[in-house]
Every structure is written in C-alpha cells, then in structure tokens.
Amino acid sequence: MTDKTQNRAWQRMLSGRRLDLLDPSPVDIEITDIARGIACVARWNGQTKGQHAFSVAQHSLLVADICADLMPSISAKLELMALLHDASEYVIGDMISPFKNALGLDYRQFEDRLESAIHIRFGLPAKPSENEKKIIKQADLACAYFEAIHLADFTTKDVNKYFNKPKGLSKQMTSRLNAITSISVKAAEASFLKRFEQINNKLIGADK
C-alpha cells in the first residue's frame, strides 16, 4: 500500500490555511491557529504539577508581562515580539532545550524561518534586534526559573545549577510568578487572543 502522506510537506490549520512547513508563507499564518496550537502544547513535555498542562500560550503571556515589568516604557512592537516569541511551536511543538541542542542547526534554521514568517505576517521585523532578543530572552529565562520551581518540581540544587535567579523584577511580578498555576486550554487560548488584540491595537495606533 502506498503511503499518500509521504511527500506532503504542509499542514492544514483549523482556519483552513495550508502552511508549507518547508517554506512557510506569512499569508498562511493566522493568529487563531497560533493561539489554538500553543494553548494545546505543554511546556516541560507535560511534566508539570496541576490539573492542566502548563501551556506555551500561558508561558508566552507571562513572558510578555515580564518584559513589560522589566521595561515599563516597552514599545508595542517589542511587547508583541515577546508574546509571539514561541509562536513557531504551534507547528513544531515545544522541544525542551537539551533535545533542541541534540538536533542541532537544521532544526534551528527551520524554527528561524517560521519565526520570520510569523513576524512579517503581523507587521514586525523579520528578525528582532540583538537588544530585543536580549530582553525577551531575559524574560523567557526568568519565567522558566519560576516554572521549574513551582510547576516542574525542580530541586533547589537543580534550579540553581541550570537557571540564574532573575534580577530586576518588581515585587508584584515576583509574587505573581511565585504563585504560578496552570490554566485550561480554553482559558489560555482566549487570554492569548485577547492580549494579542490589545497589543496589536497599540501597534496600529503607534503607526498612525
């Protein structure tokens, strides 16, 4: 029997779009597909405490909030980049860092192409600047630090071995991160879409 899926290199999305996985086009990217996808993708390979898996969508919301906390005068552009920093995972899933490192450069090139297409689709530069990458990475690692402690059940020794203790966070943000709990797919999806709309409206307003 012939495997008819053998040469297929696209994925059909719930929006009806067909996304070419090898050469993703911005016109085939929809925010509703991203929100649904990353709300269903679990961080830490699902190895977290709580009633629900801790989703990439929920993580993305927190990273955007942390960026705004670290940089109160944050631009709408950078805030949207932060919200979308893991958006490519709606297609490729959330691979833990050790596995990404094992896969090597080819995987990262694919991830970069998809990220660029997502940025272009939503009016962002194809690539963030080095400073933008730095602040998003700082927020990403800060979020991961608290996730590791409160959700992934890391020991204090392991947390301190693999993560640097976040600096520069407000007391309010630190308290919030110390109280992380997972939310449902439906709630994460809705919250992500709402936050995207809020930031996108600011971005549109800034361009007028």
- Specify if 198 maps to a domain: yes
Say which residue, 44 or 101, is predicted with more confidence.
44
- Specify if 7 maps to a domain: no
Specify the CATH number for the domain of residue 143: 1.10.3210.10
pLDDT confidence bin for 11, thresholds 50/70/90: confident
Name the domain count of the chain: 1
pLDDT tens figures, 56-114: 999 999 999 999 999 999 999 999 999 999 999 998 876 656 555 655 556 677 888 99
pLDDT confidence bin for 39, thresholds 50/70/90: very high
- Specify if 15 maps to a domain: no
- In angstroms, how far is CA 155 from the centroid of its own chain? 25
- Specify if 147 maps to a domain: yes
- Specify if 18 maps to a domain: no
pLDDT tens figures, 121-151: 999 999 999 999 999 999 999 999 999 999 9
- In angstroms, how far is CA 208 from the centroid of its own chain? 28
pLDDT confidence bin for 204, thresholds 50/70/90: confident
The pLDDT score that the predictor gives to residue 1 is 46
- Specify if 86 maps to a domain: yes
For residue 178, give the nearest of 144, 146, 151, 145 by alpha carbon: 146
61 exposed, middle or buried (CB, 10 Å; 0-12, 13-18, 19+)? buried
- Specify if 22 maps to a domain: no
- Specify if 128 maps to a domain: yes
15 exposed, middle or buried (CB, 10 Å; 0-12, 13-18, 19+)? middle
- Per the structure, the complete domain to which residue 148 belongs is given by 27-207
User: Which of these ranges, 16-30, 91-105, 157-171, 182-196, has the smallest mean pLDDT?
Assistant: 91-105
The pLDDT score that the predictor gives to residue 26 is 95
Distance CA(121)–CA(115), nearest Å, equals 10
